[in-house]
Amino acid sequence: MDTSSPAVFVNAELLKMHVGKRVRTVLQVARNEGGVMIGQSTDGQQLTVKGGDPKGFPLSHYVEVIGIADGNQSIRAEICTDFGERFGT
């Protein structure tokens, strides 16, 4: 396990406090538009993810995103993991 660059777990509200830092979040995919994934954060707000899987993820799937917070509601993805249609149930 790589502990040299830990990622803070955030939702959309907390993301703005970590701009420029490595973060991780889980969101539910709402749409994919030209390499950009838009989804709903755990606090119900919208997040935009750039990078990750260029094919995108299926709509309504839960995806864990690890990357750099590059704006109040945007993450530049390094790793995206598809958890499927059910998460935490």
Separation of alpha carbons 88 and 69, rounded Å: 24
- List, in order of start, the domains of the chain with CATH numbers: 8-83 (2.40.50.140)
Average pLDDT over residues 55-62: 90
Q: Which residues have C-beta within 8 Å of that of residue 55, sequence separation ≥ 6?
A: none
Query: Which has more confidence, 12 or 34?
Result: 12
Q: Which residues have C-beta within 8 Å of that of residue 34, sequence separation ≥ 6?
A: none
| Average pLDDT of every residue of the chain | 91
pLDDT of 84 above 80: yes
pLDDT of 13 above 70: yes
Average pLDDT over residues 30-49: 94
Number of Cβ within 10 Å of residue 8's Cβ equals 14
pLDDT of 54 above 70: no
